[in-house]
């Protein structure tokens, strides 16, 4: 859907290098590139670095380039690195966590790529923690039968993001446009002459600093936009996680799958000031115990792995215990470790807790689950291709089949590295086609008769209502009644937001709200379609798994 298209924006084709991406004189800009990557987390950056060996690459990112979900990843990257570990074990753990409805081919391809991709990170200077004997200090997390999580103390994502970004910024073939928020993908309907097969021709983006819209024509476009935690009232994700890629892909005609599988991280700090600060699963990997407020442990009643059961089971157990006891939180007890150990192994978590007045070494800290990760998203194949030509997707924005009904801890950064690599290999095969594919005459963006809104309170209201509704009606435990209520309400929000979108000047806040609303709608539709309880989707009206669980619950 093109908001407004018309002839009154001046447009210029700019050459394909770093200098050409800014435009003097305040005109709306038109940029051409071989590869457009939307998002600057691990997926986008690692793909850009590879693709730049053969192509010109533009990355657009809606904030400072460092600001991505990647940077907040604490736990680490799962990969088979230890002598005693093997691929079969990692594959089995991934399948078990995913309730066996993962796509085995995807699981195998990703897991077996792990060590090679970790070596690539080491080559660009990423430093993972090592023991005194100089072997990797591998962490343990829920659902894993081996220690296999590479980490950089408790700031693994930050370490990876920093090193990738540094490399990308130095690369002359990569341009990074910060504070550019993608609005929509450019499709055939946006061309001046609508002929030929439908495919993706790039994207329109809002330059947040000038308020102008940039038209970016690309031979191939890659969604690397991350997840949609902001759909929920409580989330471990940063504010940027508004499901932009899923929503844009859906509007462009992509198949979307398995959005009912929203992973709630069991342990976020319970404190209104902390904005759901994550207490990494690695804490439980180091023996952390979950306790009720009265001090009693409870995980032994739910799974043989106790606190290290897969996340869906731990989060649901906490939810159940909280509903039973009427308390507002359970606690995570790390007091069996010395202060020195906690400070060394978990420096950021230790300090953040202390800043909020919780001493990890002295007493158990209050924790609650919060929305953490979307296992579903844009359906891709084993090369990261969507069902739209020239459009790829990588990372949390996707449904790649790796996670099945529940993602195994620390498999997400691995998935991003792996699918960035698979996309890269496909791009090389299509090199000639891609280089010849960004010459279409695209309609520039036209703001039409849009005016500044006189009342922004409606936008704030919609944000609050959608997120609270998703938390209450489409949360850890669902029912048909709650899902149907959610469906009725999301229709009202969608209509109101559509009106805002068409009548008023685009703002970054409105763009994100529109996307969050669309992802919420898709999540509700997926949840209603799955008539069973499996993995992360638990519906009290269908409490058992289906004998033939759908591997892909596809919405179009």
Query: Which residue's CB comes closest to ligand SIN?
Result: 75
* Least gap, CB of 42 to ligand SIN (angstroms): 12
* Least gap, CB of 254 to ligand SIN (angstroms): 25
Q: Which of 547, 534, 527, 544 is nearest to 481 (CA)?
A: 527
264 sits in which H/E element: strand 262-269
* Least gap, CB of 96 to ligand SIN (angstroms): 16
Of 219 and 310, the one with the shorter C-beta distance to ligand SIN is: 310
How many residues at the interface with ligand SIN, by CB under 6 A?
10
Which one of 71, 148, 199, 311 is the catalytic residue?
Answer: 311
Q: In the chain, how many H helices and how many E strands?
A: 14, 18
Give the Cα separation of 69 and 65 in Å (integer): 11
* Least gap, CB of 336 to ligand SIN (angstroms): 19
What track of x and - describes contact with ligand SIN for positions 407 through 446 (by CB under 6 A)? --xx-x----------------------------------
Helix then strand then coil, % of the chain, to nearest 5: 40, 20, 45
Site for ligand SIN in 5-24 (CB under 6 A): none
* Least gap, CB of 301 to ligand SIN (angstroms): 22
What b/e sequence results for 446-482 when a residue is b if at least 16 CB atoms lie within 10 Å of its CB, and e otherwise? bbeeeeeeeeeeebeebbeebbebbbebbbbebeeeb
Of 207 and 286, the one with the shorter C-beta distance to ligand SIN is: 286
482 token code pair: 């709650």
The neighbour count for residue 117, using CB atoms within 10 Å, is 20
Of 390 and 411, the one with the shorter C-beta distance to ligand SIN is: 411
What track of x and - describes contact with ligand SIN for positions 336 through 375 (by CB under 6 A)? -------------------------------------x--
Question: How far is CA 86 from its chain centroid?
Answer: 28
What track of x and - describes contact with ligand SIN for positions 55 through 94 (by CB under 6 A)? ------------------xxx-------------------
Of 52 and 371, the one with the shorter C-beta distance to ligand SIN is: 371
- Taking CA 379 as the corner, what is the angle to CA 376 and CA 384, rounded to the nearest 5 degrees? 115
Q: Which of 76, 85, 57 is nearest to 128 (CA)?
A: 76
Of 216 and 313, the one with the shorter C-beta distance to ligand SIN is: 313
Residue 311 annotated to the active site = yes
Of 374 and 504, the one with the shorter C-beta distance to ligand SIN is: 374
Of 281 and 512, the one with the shorter C-beta distance to ligand SIN is: 281
152 binding ligand SIN? (CB under 6 A): no
* Least gap, CB of 156 to ligand SIN (angstroms): 8
* 220, 394 Cβ separation under 8 angstroms: no
Reduced to 3 states (helix: H, G, I; strand: E, B; else coil), residue 25 is helix
Give the Cα separation of 175 and 290 in Å (integer): 46
* Least gap, CB of 303 to ligand SIN (angstroms): 17
Of 224 and 427, the one with the shorter C-beta distance to ligand SIN is: 224
Q: Contact region for ligand SIN (CB under 6 A) — 103-111, 158-166, 405-413, 524-532?
A: 405-413
Q: Which of 281, 267, 300 is nearest to 366 (CA)?
A: 267
Q: Which of 493, 471, 474 is nearest to 483 (CA)?
A: 474
Give the Cα separation of 423 and 12 in Å (integer): 30
- DSSP, residue by residue, 181-207: EEEEEE-GGGBSS--SS-B--EEEEEE
Cβ contacts of residue 173 below 8 Å, gap of 6+?
A: 52, 55, 56, 57
Give the Cα separation of 22 and 8 in Å (integer): 20
> Positive or negative CA dihedral for 88, 43, 284, 308?
negative
* Least gap, CB of 263 to ligand SIN (angstroms): 8
What track of x and - describes contact with ligand SIN for positions 263 through 282 (by CB under 6 A)? -----------------xxx
Q: Contact region for ligand SIN (CB under 6 A) — 60-68, 337-345, 393-401, 406-414?
A: 406-414
Contact set with ligand SIN (CB under 6 A):
73-75, 280-282, 373, 409-410, 412
**Residues classed as catalytic:** 311
């Amino acid at each position: 859907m093109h908001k407004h298209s018309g002839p009154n924006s001046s447009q210029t084709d700019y050459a394909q290098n770093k200098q050409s991406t800014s435009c003097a004189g305040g005109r709306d800009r038109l940029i051409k590139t071989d590869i457009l990557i939307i998002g600057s987390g691990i997926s986008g950056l690692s793909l850009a670095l590879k693709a730049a060996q053969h192509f010109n690459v533009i990355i657009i990112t809606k904030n400072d380039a460092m600001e991505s979900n990647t940077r907040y990843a604490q736990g680490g990257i799962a990969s088979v690195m230890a002598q005693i570990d093997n691929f079969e074990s990692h594959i089995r753990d991934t399948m078990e966590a995913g309730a066996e409805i993962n796509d085995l081919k995807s699981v195998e391809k990703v897991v077996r790529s792990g060590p090679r991709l970790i070596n690539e990170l080491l080559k660009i200077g990423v430093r993972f923690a090592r023991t005194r004997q100089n072997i990797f200090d591998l962490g343990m997390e829920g659902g894993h039968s081996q220690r296999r999580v590479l980490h950089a103390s408790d700031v693994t994502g930050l370490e990876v993001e920093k090193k990738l970004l540094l490399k990308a910024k130095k690369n002359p073939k990569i341009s990074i446009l910060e504070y550019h928020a993608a609005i929509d993908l450019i499709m055939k309907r946006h061309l001046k002459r609508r002929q030929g097969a439908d495919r993706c021709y790039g994207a329109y983006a809002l330059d947040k600093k000038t308020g102008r819209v940039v038209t970016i024509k690309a031979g191939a476009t890659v969604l690397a936009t991350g997840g949609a935690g902001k759909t929920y009232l409580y989330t471990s994700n940063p504010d940027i996680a508004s499901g932009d890629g899923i929503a844009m892909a859906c509007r462009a005609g992509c198949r979307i799958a398995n959005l009912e599988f929203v992973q709630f991280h069991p342990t976020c700090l319970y404190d209104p000031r902390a904005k759901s600060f994550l207490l990494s699963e690695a804490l439980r990997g180091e023996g952390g115990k979950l306790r009720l407020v009265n001090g009693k442990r409870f995980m032994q009643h739910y799974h043989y792995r106790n606190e290290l059961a897969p996340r869906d089971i731990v989060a649901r157990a906490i939810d159940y215990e909280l509903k039973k006891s009427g308390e507002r939180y359970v606690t995570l007890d790390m007091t069996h470790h010395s202060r020195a150990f906690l400070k060394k192994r978990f420096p950021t978590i230790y300090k953040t807790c202390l800043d909020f007045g919780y001493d990890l070494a002295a007493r158990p800290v209050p924790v609650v689950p919060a929305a953490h990760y979307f296992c579903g998203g844009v359906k891709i194949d084993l090369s990261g291709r969507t069902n739209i030509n020239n459009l790829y997707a990588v990372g949390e924005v996707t449904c790649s089949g790796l996670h099945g009904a529940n993602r195994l801890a620390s498999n997400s950064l691995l998935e991003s590295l792996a699918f960035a690599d698979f996309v890269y290999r496909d791009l090389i095969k299509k090199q000639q086609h891609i280089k010849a594919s960004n010459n279409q005459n695209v309609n520039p963006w036209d703001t039409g008769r849009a005016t500044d809104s006189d009342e922004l309170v409606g936008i704030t209201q919609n944000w609050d209502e959608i997120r609270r509704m998703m938390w209450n009606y489409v949360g850890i435990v669902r029912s048909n009644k709650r899902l149907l209520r959610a469906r009725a309400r999301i229709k009202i929000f969608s209509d109101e937001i559509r009106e805002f979108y068409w009548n008023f000047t685009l703002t970054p806040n409105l763009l994100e709200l529109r996307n969050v609303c669309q992802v919420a709608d898709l999540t509700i539709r997926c949840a209603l379609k799955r008539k069973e309880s499996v993995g992360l989707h638990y519906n009290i009206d269908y409490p058992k798994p289906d004998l033939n669980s759908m591997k892909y619950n596809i919405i179009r």
